[in-house]
Amino acid sequence: MDVPETRYARRGDDHIAYQTVGDAPPDIVLLSMWVSNVESSWDNPLLGPTQRRLSSFGRLIHFDKMGTGLSDPVPLQGLPTLEEWMDDLRVVLDEVESERPVIVGSGETGPMAILFASTYPERTSGLVLWDSWARLARGSDHPEGMPQHMIDANVEFIERTWGTGAQVAWLSPDDADDHELRAAWARYERQIASPRTAAVIRKMVNGLDVRNVLPAIRVPTLVIHHLENPYARVGHGRMLAERIPNARLVELAGPNWGPMKSVDREPILDEIEEFVTGIRPAPDADRVLATVLFTDVVGSTAHAAVRGDRTWLDLLERQQAMVRRQLERHRGREVSTAGDGFLATFDGPARAIRCADAIVQGGRALGIEIRAGLHTGEIELLGDDIGGMAVHITARVSALASGGEVLVSSTVRDLVVGSGIEFDDRGLHELKGVPGEWRLFAAHG
């Protein structure tokens, strides 16, 4: 979709940049980050897909708080208060004639969402808190919080690494080695704030404490939190759900609280859609049995650092061409690619194994190690994309593979008996977000 038109609301002499997307109710306000840019967010690998999905079942409203993005700047020694940022939101809602939107606060924007919902219940129809908190810092009465020295180190880390995409490592740990995603996030960082501005505003929002207002919230509330969030432990989400009257808590498996890939992002947005509309999303999708393949290059970040960006990008192009040749040769269908990784499907598991093995060998010829994961199961055909538990399982299997290894589920192994393909037992494993234990095998095509 084209980037929506950016407009300005006035608060006194100040100009607040905002966008609306979609026409049909309900209204949804997304408070996405402590600093933002309403135009550049559409190219961000997390925010862009999230905004598109939210606007598919309501009218999306998002804006840049004063001192950030396309809104008027402010001196760093005179940052707006949380109350003034809430005034920014109220002015935008008046400008777009939004009476009672659902407010979605993620991470460090949660305190602002909490305070707005408790202060203006007549202007809020619902509240969503996604991997957020009421107070970040640990205290004697707040054991789930983060030690102050770690908060200070995080602010220093932000200022030191801003513009490099290093934040991906703690927003979406499973994607930490995805060179292309990190590059996209780095571009967004450089477009929304300078390193010093990002660090100063982050330090300010890290010090917020809105715990005392939680019992005053009287609007329907959904709390979503990842069990393995490496930054804000799940205790934050549980505390929010305990103290906000009648809040509903949804705990999701995995560490990717800022998920860059749809397999981790869509469960969050499914919960939000059901909360906002009252209807659990059920896409009109065809379901078929397929063998799903994930591949990625091991240590891509280190390769990029050693070889340099230009040389590494040239090598990635050769790798992508090689993978596509093998997919065509083995009748695989490319679903998507993100940086050095591929997602593909096959109508036969033996062909999928032989293709994966050929891709691994082709990587070695290029001087890189590729790992691959395979699982056979029912998938949903969603236009050009695919979904379903089989995709999720394959991603987890692939993440456990070593460099140069084709790792498959026991389902795949059982389906190719008699094919001549050999397997080495890799034992039982727990797959994040997948019930039970899974026996995995290294395949040799």
Q: What is the pLDDT of residues 145-168, one digit of tens each?
A: 999 999 999 999 999 999 999 999
Q: Is the pLDDT of residue 261 over 90?
A: no
**Structure-derived torsion over alpha carbons of residues 9, 11, 15, 16, reported in degrees to the nearest 10:** -60
**What is the separation of C-alpha 120 from the centre of its chain, rounded to a whole number of angstroms?**
29
- Please report the DSSP string for 96-115 in residue order: TT-SSPEEEEEGGGHHHHHH
Which pTM does this prediction carry? 0.68
- Residue range 36-63: average pLDDT? 94
Instruction: Output the pLDDT for position 301.
Output: 67
Instruction: Output the pLDDT for position 236.
Output: 96
Q: Is the pLDDT of residue 360 over 90?
A: yes
Please state, in angstroms and as integers, the Cα–Cα distance from residue 220 to each residue in 4, 125, 128, following that order.
Answer: 30, 7, 9
Q: Is the pLDDT of residue 321 over 90?
A: yes
| pLDDT digit string, tens, across residues 4-26 | 999 999 999 999 999 999 877 89
Q: Three-state secondary structure along 320-352?
A: HHHHHHHHHHCCCEEEEEECCEEEEEECCHHHH
List the Cα angle 378/379/381 in 5-degree steps.
140
Q: Is the pLDDT of residue 81 over 60?
A: yes
**In contact, 202 and 107? CB cutoff 8 Å:** no
Query: Quick one: pLDDT band at residue 105, thresholds 50, 70, 90?
Result: very high
Instruction: Output the pLDDT for position 80.
Output: 85
| pLDDT digit string, tens, across residues 87-103 | 999 999 999 999 999 99
- Residue range 304-332: average pLDDT? 87
Q: Mean of the per-residue pLDDT values for the chain?
A: 91
Instruction: Output the pLDDT for position 213.
Output: 94
**In contact, 174 and 264? CB cutoff 8 Å:** yes
Q: Is the pLDDT of residue 132 over 80?
A: yes
Instruction: Output the pLDDT for position 282.
Output: 57
| pLDDT digit string, tens, across residues 364-384 | 999 899 999 999 998 888 878
Q: Is the pLDDT of residue 175 over 90?
A: no
**What is the separation of C-alpha 384 from the centre of its chain, rounded to a whole number of angstroms?**
20
Instruction: Output the pLDDT for position 1.
Output: 55
Helices (H), 26-109: 47-54, 82-95
Q: What are phi and psi of 5, to 5 degrees?
A: -70, 135
Helices (H), 68-213: 82-95, 110-119, 148-161, 168-171, 179-192, 195-206
**By mean pLDDT, which of 179-183, 193-197, 216-220, 259-263 is the weakest?**
259-263
Strands 333-338 and 341-346: antiparallel
**What is the separation of C-alpha 198 from the centre of its chain, rounded to a whole number of angstroms?**
20
Name the helix (H) or strand (E) containing 245: none
Instruction: Output the pLDDT for position 279.
Output: 77
**In contact, 56 and 131? CB cutoff 8 Å:** no
- Residue range 84-88: average pLDDT? 92
**By mean pLDDT, which of 66-80, 182-196, 272-286 is the weakest?**
272-286
Q: Is the pLDDT of residue 305 over 70?
A: no
- Residue range 248-269: average pLDDT? 90
